[in-house]
Amino acid sequence: MTRSSPPRPIKGTQSLYGEPAERFHHVIDCFDRVRRLYGFRRVEVPVFEATGVFARTMGETTDVVSKEMWSFESRSEGSVTLRPEFTAGIARAFLSEGWQQHVPMKVAVHGPAFRYERPQKGRYRQFHQLDAEVIGSDDPLVDVELLAFGAQLLEELGIEGVTLRLNTLGDAQSRDNWRAALIEHFSAHRDELSEDSRDRLERNPLRILDSKDPRDRPFAQSAPTMQLSSEAEDFFGQVRAGLDAAGIAYQLDPHLVRGLDYYRHTAFEFVTDRLGAQGTVLAGGRYDGLIEALGGPHVPAVGWAAGIERLAMLLDRDVSERIEAAILPMGEEARLAAIHAATRLRAEGISAEIFASGKLGKRMSRADQAGALAAIVIGEEEVTSGQYQYKHLASGEQRALDMEAIIDALVDEAAERDLSSFEADLGDHD
C-alpha cells in the first residue's frame, strides 16, 4: 500500500509557532494598548462581503478588483469576496448596522485579509492588517490624531528608520482641476507611456504618478502639482501645524497620491528602507466620498492600515513570552501538589508551568530556557512540610518557603523584571 504525501500549505499562506508567532501577537498587543490611549473602540466586521462592496469602493479598474480579489459564488448571496482590506466593510457596516448614531466614530480592528498576488517578502495571499478609522468628522485635528496614533504605535514597537511622507489631495474642486491638468500633461506623451498608463489615462490618471515602470517615471516626475483652493490650503496647514505641535516629523511628497475619486485632503505613508522596494509599513488618508460611493449620505472619514507581518519582521528586540515559575515535582505524590501549586499561582496572575518528567538537571535547564524567574521543587518531604524549595534561577539562591511566601517573592521579582525591561525600552528610544 502506497502512503500518500502529507498535505502542503496553500501558496502565499503561512503557519506560525514559537518566536515568529510571539512577534506577530506582540504587534497586535501593542496596537490594542495604543488604540485605547487614543480612545479608538474595537469593532468586528465579516471576513467576506458582497463583491459589489469592494468593487464600488475600490474601483472597478484597480488591480485589486480586476486581478487580486478572491471571489466566489454563494448559494444564496450571489458573488461574495474575501475582504482584501477593512475600510469598505467598515463603511458598509456604518450604513447597514445603524452606526450613524455614534458619529464621530473612532474604531480599530485587526485580522486576516486576502489578495491573490505574487508572494514576496512580508506579503502573503492571506495576510493580516491593523486598521484604524475615524468616521463622521471633517476636523483636521482628527487627521493629526490618527497620524499620532500611527507614529506612537511604530515608536512603541521600537521600529526605527521610518519616515512619514505627507501630501494633500485637496478638496473636490482642487482634485478635479488637477485631474484635468494631468490628463492634458500625460496625453501629450501618450505614445511614450507604458501600456498600463495609457489604459489609466482617461479613467484614473492619478495612478500614473504611482507607476514604477521606467517609461512612465520621467513624465510622472514632470507632471503638474496640485493647485489648492484656499479652503484646501487651510485644511492642510492645520494638519501640518498639528503634526508640528505633536512633535511628529514628516516629509512633503507631492507625488504621493490615492487614485480613487473619493479620496480628499490628507494622504500619508510611513516608509522604511529596510524592506526593499516594498517599504511602506503603514499608510492611509482621508476618504470623504467613500460612503457616498456605497449609496449613503456624505460622511467625512479618514483611516490607515498596516500589515502585521511586515511590522513583525521589523521588530529588533526579543519579545518572547517568558513564564515566571517552573514547578518541578519529584515523585507521584508531588505531582498532585504541583497541580495545586500551579493553580494557586495562576489564580494570583503568576504564569506557571509544570516540568514533570526527566532528570532534575534537565528540568532546571528547560525552566531556564523558558525564562522562568524561579524553580519550585516539590519532593515527598516538601509535600509533608508544606514548605517547597524555591530556587531563584538568576542568583542560584535556594530556600524553603510556603505558598504564601512563594507568591509574594514571585510578585516582587516579576515587578522587578518588568521594571528592568521598561527601563531597557526607554534606553532603546533615547
HSE-CB at 410 with a 13 A cutoff on CA atoms is 29
Same domain, 89 and 32: yes
Same domain, 309 and 351: no
Looking at the predicted structure, is the pLDDT value of residue 420 above 70? no
Same domain, 148 and 250: yes
Looking at the predicted structure, is the pLDDT value of residue 194 above 60? yes
Looking at the predicted structure, is the pLDDT value of residue 205 above 80? yes
Q: Is 116 annotated as a binding residue?
A: no
Q: Is 13 annotated as a binding residue?
A: no
Q: What average pLDDT does this structure show over 147-155?
A: 97
Same domain, 309 and 330: no
pTM attached to this predicted model: 0.84
**414 belongs to a structural domain:** yes
Looking at the predicted structure, is the pLDDT value of residue 139 above 80? yes
pLDDT band at 87 (very low <50, low <70, confident <90, very high): very high
Q: What average pLDDT does this structure show over 10-32?
A: 92
Rounded Cα distance between 313 and 212, Å, is: 24
Range of the domain at 72: 19-171+229-313
Q: Residue 37 gets which letter from DSSP?
A: H
Q: Is 179 annotated as a binding residue?
A: no
**273 belongs to a structural domain:** yes
Q: What average pLDDT does this structure show over 198-224?
A: 84
- E strands within 101-198? 105-114, 126-135, 162-168
> Residues near 242 by Cβ (< 8 Å), separated by ≥ 6?
140, 141, 143, 144
At 207 the pLDDT is: 79
Q: Is 388 annotated as a binding residue?
A: no
pLDDT greater at residue 405 or residue 65: 405
Q: What average pLDDT does this structure show over 231-256?
A: 94
At 10 the pLDDT is: 86
How many other β-carbons are positioned within 10 Å of the β-carbon of residue 330?
A: 19
pLDDT band at 421 (very low <50, low <70, confident <90, very high): low
Q: Is 38 annotated as a binding residue?
A: no
Same domain, 367 and 283: no
Virtual CA dihedral for 51, 56, 59, 65, nearest 10 degrees?
A: 0
At 274 the pLDDT is: 74
Q: Is 390 annotated as a binding residue?
A: no
Looking at the predicted structure, is the pLDDT value of residue 216 above 70? yes
**193 belongs to a structural domain:** no
Same domain, 306 and 160: yes
Same domain, 424 and 333: yes
Percent of the chain with pLDDT over 90: 58
Same domain, 298 and 357: no
Same domain, 283 and 417: no
Q: Are 113 and 84 in contact (CB under 8 A)?
A: yes
Q: Are 125 and 26 in contact (CB under 8 A)?
A: no
Instruction: Answer with the one of 313, 338, 361 that is the final residue of a domain.
Output: 313
What is the number of structural domains in the chain?
A: 2
Q: Are 355 and 326 in contact (CB under 8 A)?
A: yes
Instruction: Answer with the one of 257, 289, 313 that is the final residue of a domain.
Output: 313
Rounded Cα distance between 389 and 409, Å, is: 13
Rounded Cα distance between 126 and 63, Å, is: 17
**395 belongs to a structural domain:** yes
Looking at the predicted structure, is the pLDDT value of residue 122 above 70? no
Q: Is 262 annotated as a binding residue?
A: yes
Burial of 5 (C-beta count, 10 Å sphere; 0-12/13-18/19+): exposed
Same domain, 136 and 92: yes
Q: Is 129 annotated as a binding residue?
A: yes
pLDDT greater at residue 45 or residue 320: 45
Q: Which of 127-131, 182-186, 187-191, 255-259 has the highest mean pLDDT?
A: 127-131
**352 belongs to a structural domain:** yes
CATH of the domain at 414: 3.40.50.800
Of 255, 202, 213, the closest CA to residue 61 belongs to 202
Mean pLDDT of the chain: 89
- Scan for cell 498576488, then name that residue: 117
Please work out, in degrees rounded to the nearest 5, the angle formed at the alpha carbon of residue 39 by the alpha carbons of 94 and 168: 70
pLDDT greater at residue 59 or residue 145: 145
Same domain, 284 and 364: no
Instruction: Answer with the one of 313, 345, 367 that is the final residue of a domain.
Output: 313
Would you state the cell numbers that stand for residue 231, as one nine-digit string? Answer: 479652503
**221 belongs to a structural domain:** no
**10 belongs to a structural domain:** no
Virtual CA dihedral for 391, 392, 394, 395, nearest 10 degrees?
A: -90
Same domain, 287 and 425: no
**417 belongs to a structural domain:** yes
Q: What average pLDDT does this structure show over 223-246?
A: 92
Of 58, 83, 60, the closest CA to residue 70 belongs to 83
pLDDT tens per residue across span 336-380: 999 999 999 999 999 999 999 999 999 999 999 999 999 999 999
pLDDT greater at residue 67 or residue 366: 366
Q: Is 215 annotated as a binding residue?
A: no
At 118 the pLDDT is: 78
At 422 the pLDDT is: 53
Rounded Cα distance between 153 and 164, Å, is: 13
At 302 the pLDDT is: 96
CATH of the domain at 108: 3.30.930.10
Q: DSSP per residue over 306-342, as a string? A: EEHHHHHHT--S------SEEEEE-SHHHHHHHHHHH
